[in-house]
A and B are shown apart, each in its own frame.
Chain A
Amino acid sequence: MIQLYKVTKQYEGVPALRDVSFAVDKGEFVFVTGPSGAGKTTLLKILFCAERADEGQIIIQGVNVFRIDRSGIPYLRRNMGFVFQDYKLLPHKTVFENIALALKVVGAPYGDIERKAYQVLKKVGLEAKRHLTPPKLSGGEQQRVAVARALVNEPRVLLADEPTGNLDPQSGQEIFRMFREVNLKGTTVIVATHDWETVRKMQRRIITMERGRVTDDGMSQRSRDAAPPPAPGTVSRP
């Protein structure tokens, strides 16, 4: 589903990603972890075509990202949902309008918009608050709206960048529960997070990054159940 081979990215000469290679299968749930500046966000941005890699090969759902022109990017993104740490909800629009916008940009028929938006809000438990604007919701609720927006077009891939970074532990657990449900229905999920406790509990594949490199790629429970994250500079094998 997603393949990266020797992907490199620099910002003004400073390497952000160095020879990053890995593959993610359809329906997998993958955590990308590592300290700040490890390259997690850059990696997700490249997968989402918000940044262009300097070198390497990236194939997403059979599409070579290097060969895709600017006009093709929106269509690639329509098969992906993205959840941001800061939610990126439009504050002057209601919860419903925020969700409806995601349906409008893909040209969903008007008749479907209300039904689909309601269904997805029901899924995240916010159908009763659909007429409120985001500032009137708690952080956890806002992130649930953001998740609903990412899922409303039923993407094949869900990317999340520190989705629980601004949330209390309970709200964070709720978000991860939703990701797990989506994943069980076949959506590939890639989450960049610092939340080591959740990563450990969920027992899924972990890609560990360090200074732009992948330093570890394996299953959590086998290699480091109840263990702290690897010290900087160490490389472990799955």
Chain B
Amino acid sequence: MKGYGPPFYVAEAFRGLRANSLVNLLAVGTITMAMLIVGVFLLVFLNLRGTVGEMSSRLEISVYLKDGITLQEREFLQARLKTEPGVRKVAFLPRAEALAIFRKELSGQESLLEGLGENPLPDSFEVGLDLKPGDAGRIESLADKFSSLPGVEDVSYGKQGAETVAVLFSLVLYGGVALAALLGVTVVFIISNSVRLALYSRGQEIELMQWIGATRGFIRGPFLFEGMMIAMLGSALGVVVLAAVFHALPRGAVVLFSRPYGLEFLSPAAIAGLIFGGGALGLTGAFISVEKFLE
């Protein structure tokens, strides 16, 4: 005769969940909290990654030209800049236009420019870059290269900004991974304890099942499903709470990430990852307890 397979184990797992409802409820609650913390970090990480990506794509190097450069030299330099890998666009900015932009940026404080007399700004090329997040080193090497080209007076780029974003990105990435690992172990531990309690409360039944010819798989199956279901339920509730908090946040809070369309919630793939990842951790915790018990 064949075994019953997953439908039987799921039905038995539900029976077990009902039998130890209080313990399981506590486990679900604890996992909800743990997964909520993981979810917050994931949310911050994914948004920050998006922000860094956008900032990187918006990064520009200003290449200032020497006075008296000929048109031919300027066109040659523009063509040369365009050939560089990682360069998305090269736009010429005449000194008069640069001053106009500067005036606009100083809107309300134009008096600062009154004593300048002649336009002090040089002609320049605005070199748009197309780099990956955390590629701050690449910007620096490009800037160095551009500064040595003939006809170039100086270069400038948002060095500090690029570096800060890269550091922040690494911090969230590594901190998030470390915290997720820690909380993952916590989830395994919680499920392991919860399943252990269920095992002890049904110890007599398990012993009897062994006496009457039950295989380890038959005994193990319902407990594995039970652990997995508790963890998945806890994870799903964690996502629900996170969504509720996210939508209750004042819109001003999203300025932190300075994305044009604001803070984004977790993608369906990330939500599925959280729930199924939680399920896998629950399965691991349950497996550890059942194996130890059956030994």
**Residues of B with Cβ closer than 8 Å to A?**
1-4, 8, 204-205, 208-216, 218
Contacts and interface: CB of A to CB of B under 8 A. Distances in A.
A101 B218 CA distance: 12
B143 to A, nearest CB: 67
Interface string A95-121: 000000110111111000000000000
Interface stretch (A70-78, A180-188, A220-228): A70-78
A90 interface: yes
Nearest to B209: A105
Interface string A132-152: 000000000000000001000
10 contacts: A48-B211, A50-B211, A74-B216, A77-B212, A101-B205, A101-B212, A105-B209, A105-B213, A105-B215, A149-B212
A74 B214 CA distance: 6
Interface of A: 48, 50, 70-71, 74-75, 77-78, 82, 88, 90, 101-102, 104-109, 149, 153
Nearest to A108: B1
A150 to B, nearest CB: 8
A106 B204 contact: no
B74 to A, nearest CB: 81
Q: B1, B3, B211 — which one has the most chain A CB atoms within 10 A of its CB?
A: B211
Given A90-B205, A107-B2, A77 B211 contact: yes
B204 A105 contact: no
A143 to B, nearest CB: 15
B213 A71 contact: no
Contacts of B218: 105, 107
B214 A105 contact: yes
Contacts of A105: 209, 212-215, 218
A38 to B, nearest CB: 22
B210 A74 contact: yes
Contacts of A106: 1, 213
Nearest to B215: A74
Contacts of B211: 48, 50, 77, 82, 88
Contacts of A77: 211-213
A75 B1 CA distance: 11
B1 A107 contact: yes
Nearest to A107: B1
B10 to A, nearest CB: 15
Nearest to B19: A92
Nearest to A48: B211
Q: B3, B212, B214, B215 — which one has the most chain A CB atoms within 10 A of its CB?
A: B212
Given A88-B208, A90-B205, A74 B1 contact: no
Nearest to A112: B1
B234 to A, nearest CB: 28
B198 to A, nearest CB: 14
A153 B1 CA distance: 11
Nearest to B210: A74
A75 B210 CA distance: 11
Nearest to A98: B208
B213 A75 contact: yes
Nearest to B208: A88
A102 B212 contact: yes
B292 to A, nearest CB: 15
A78 B213 contact: yes
B209 A101 contact: yes
A105 B2 CA distance: 10
Contacts of B2: 107
Q: A74, A101, A104, A149 — which one has the most chain B CB atoms within 10 A of its CB?
A: A74
Contacts of A70: 216
Contacts of A109: 1
B14 to A, nearest CB: 16
A107 B209 contact: no
Contact of A90 (B208, B210, B213, B216): B208
A149 B209 CA distance: 12
Contacts of B8: 104
B23 to A, nearest CB: 17
A193 B211 CA distance: 20
Contacts of B215: 71, 74-75, 105
Nearest to A155: B213
A78 B1 CA distance: 11
B186 to A, nearest CB: 32
B268 to A, nearest CB: 37
A68 to B, nearest CB: 13
In order of increasing CB-CB distance, the 6 nearest A-B pairs are A78-B213, A105-B214, A107-B1, A77-B213, A107-B3, A74-B213
